Structure 1
Amino acid sequence: MSSFSGNAAQEVWERFDPRIFLRDSASINKAQAAFRSAYGLPRVDAVAVGTDNVGHLRELTEALAYEVDDQVIREYRQPLKARQLA
């Protein structure tokens, strides 16, 4: 699954900021935040990316230095779990 469905310029990315899922994330961009957040929604050990741009890959891997905000993740998951049980 692609965080951007192959297009980071879509309207949804203008309205939604995935940096809310990370601690101290003001200095990274939305693509980096979406990539890093993908490790916690749900928790995974690996995320696949495809690119032929080494700079883009470097940008994404640098995002791994940021920490996911576990409290925000829990709050995000609560309505999802409640909906699942309904």
Structure 2
Amino acid sequence: MSAVVEPPADADLAVERPFCAWCGAARTVGDHAGCDRRLATVDPPRHCPLCARRMVVQVDPVGWTARCSRHGESAGANGFS
């Protein structure tokens, strides 16, 4: 398993993570406010934010894991208490 590397808090998401983790589109194209809301509340990411590849996502009662074939695994508990 790979460690998750988070960008600095003041980082520009379009530079650090060029693709939307929900819809897979480039962050510089269109409005991703709805995608960001979904990711922040209930849904796990579906696309790798670094390469836009579709990820293998496993959701369980305590959180989720998502694995990109190129960039490894990330995990979270968004939307779960």
TM norm structure 1: 0.30
Structure with greater proportional strand content: 2
More helix by share: 1
TM-score computed with the length of structure 2 as normaliser: 0.31
For the pair shown, the structure with the greater C-alpha radius of gyration is: 1
